């Protein structure tokens, strides 16, 4: 009886993880390898083009899309530790290239192979963590992950297998944190009001940790919690699943 070779997976790290929290990339690598994948981090990857798209530069975003598609085409699967970046590749690349008969089929093919990491681990690989952590956690559902990709129960199922971890309810878990990519830059006063309300709910939950699947949201909430003097520490979900929540939290000094 022959054993199927491990899937060859491209890890699309995201520019925010690369620049601001590389630990998430290493945690993603660890859990994917534990799930039986051969992981490759394609050289030359850059931004997915989401900021350009959000700012109305569709031509620039389409150029980035074509470059990224060509980079990711050789892989059996593409895994992304971000619901918003995964949503850009899966949902928005085909929209951007809808009038390009050469690139639309390629965009659709790469889109079908692309997965947000928590969904990939839970639904595709059927993987379960062996990590342990004695802590209570509240989970924030990021807008792109929840509304574009239907990510809701997948992270909670995975976290439910972490020994000692206790999931507590978070009021308004599905409510935007105010980050919204370039939204927080264009409308800072509105963004600040939204995240302040979110921070109050996080503190009221009594959770030791706040988790989510998008670094932008996590940085936004971590910053507000820090300014409020809250004790809640903030991590990306894959850091907990990889047993890497024993180091500095997001927003803390390395």
- Going by C-alpha positions, the residue among 181, 175, 150 that lies closest to residue 16 is 181
Asked if residue 143 and residue 110 are part of one domain, the reply reads: no
CA distance 13 to 155: 19
- Flag whether 186 is in a domain: yes
The distance from CA 82 to its chain's CA centroid, rounded to whole angstroms, is 2
pLDDT at residue 99 in the model:
97
Query: Is the domain of 220 the same as that of 181?
Result: yes
> Is 250 among the domain residues?
no
- Residue where a domain terminates, one of 101, 122, 143: 122
Nearest to 186 by CA among 54, 25, 29: 54
pLDDT, tens digit, for every residue of 141-166? 999 999 999 999 999 999 999 999 99
Give a yes or no: residue 222 inside a domain. yes
Task: Please tell me whether residue 122 adopts helix, strand or coil conformation.
Answer: helix
Angle at 124 between CA 238 and CA 243, to 5 degrees: 20
Say what the pTM is.
0.95
**Residue 78 shares a structural domain with residue 106:** yes
- Four-residue CA torsion sign, 154, 160, 165, 169: positive
Same domain (yes/no): 158, 106 = no
248 found inside a domain? no
Q: Give the per-residue pLDDT at 214.
A: 97
Which CATH number covers residue 73? 3.40.50
205 in a structural domain: yes
Rounded Cα–Cα distance for residues 73 and 15 (Å): 19
Q: 137 and 182: one domain?
A: yes
Residues 73, 57 share a domain = yes
For the chain, residues with pLDDT lower than 70 are: 1-2, 254
Residue 1 lies in a domain: no
Tell me, yes or no, whether 109 and 155 share the same domain. Answer: no
H runs (alpha helix) in 39-82: 50-54, 58-72
Could you say which of 122, 153, 178 is where a domain stops?
122
Same domain for 111 and 145, yes or no, is no
Q: Are residues 187 and 113 in the same domain?
A: no
The CATH code of the domain that includes 135 is: 3.40.50.11810
Query: What are 54-101's pLDDT values in tens digits?
Result: 899 999 999 999 999 999 999 999 999 999 999 999 999 999 999 999
Is residue 134 domain-shared with residue 110, that is, in the same domain? no
Instruction: Tell me whether residue 104 is in a domain.
Output: yes
In-domain check, residue 251: no
Give the DSSP letter of residue 213: S
pLDDT at position 182 is: 79
Identify the pLDDT of residue 1. 58
Report angle CA 83, 84, 89 to the nearest 5 degrees: 95
Indicate if 12 and 113 belong to the same structural domain.
yes
Distance CA(187)–CA(193), nearest Å, equals 10
Domain count for the chain: 2
Q: What's the pLDDT at 2? A: 62
- Which residue, 122, 150, 165, sits at the end of a domain? 122
Is there a single domain that holds both residue 151 and residue 237?
yes
Looking at residue 186, its pLDDT comes to: 84
- Give the range of the structural domain holding residue 216, as residue numbers without chain letter: 129-241
Angstrom distances, CA of residue 111 to CA of 104, 145, 163, 220: 10, 15, 34, 28
Run of H or E residues at 114: strand 114-116
């Amino acid at each position: 009886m022959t054993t199927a070779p491990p899937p060859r997976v491209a890890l699309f790290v995201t520019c925010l993880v690369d620049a601001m929290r590389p630990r998430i990339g290493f945690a993603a690598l660890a859990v994917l390898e534990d799930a039986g994948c051969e992981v490759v981090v394609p050289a030359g990857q850059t931004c997915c083009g989401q900021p350009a798209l959000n700012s109305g530069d569709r031509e620039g975003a389409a150029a980035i899309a074509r470059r990224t598609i060509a980079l990711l085409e050789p892989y059996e699967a593409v895994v992304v530790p971000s619901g918003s970046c995964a949503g850009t590749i899966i949902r928005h690349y085909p929209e951007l290239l809808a009038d390009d008969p050469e690139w639309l089929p390629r965009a659709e093919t790469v889109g079908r192979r692309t997965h947000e990491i928590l969904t990939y681990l839970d639904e595709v690989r059927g993987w379960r963590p062996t990590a342990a952590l004695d802590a209570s956690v509240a989970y924030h559902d990021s807008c792109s992950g929840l509304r574009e990709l239907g990510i809701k129960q997948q992270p909670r199922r995975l976290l439910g297998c972490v020994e000692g971890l206790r999931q507590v309810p978070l009021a308004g878990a599905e409510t935007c944190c105010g980050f919204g990519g370039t939204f927080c830059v264009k409308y800072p006063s509105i963004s600040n009001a939204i995240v302040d309300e979110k921070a109050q709910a996080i503190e009221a939950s009594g959770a030791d940790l706040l988790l989510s699947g998008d670094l932008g949201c996590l940085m936004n909430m971590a910053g507000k919690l820090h300014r409020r003097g809250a004790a809640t520490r903030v991590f990306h979900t894959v850091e907990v699943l990889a047993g890497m929540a024993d180091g500095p939290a997001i927003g803390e000094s390395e």
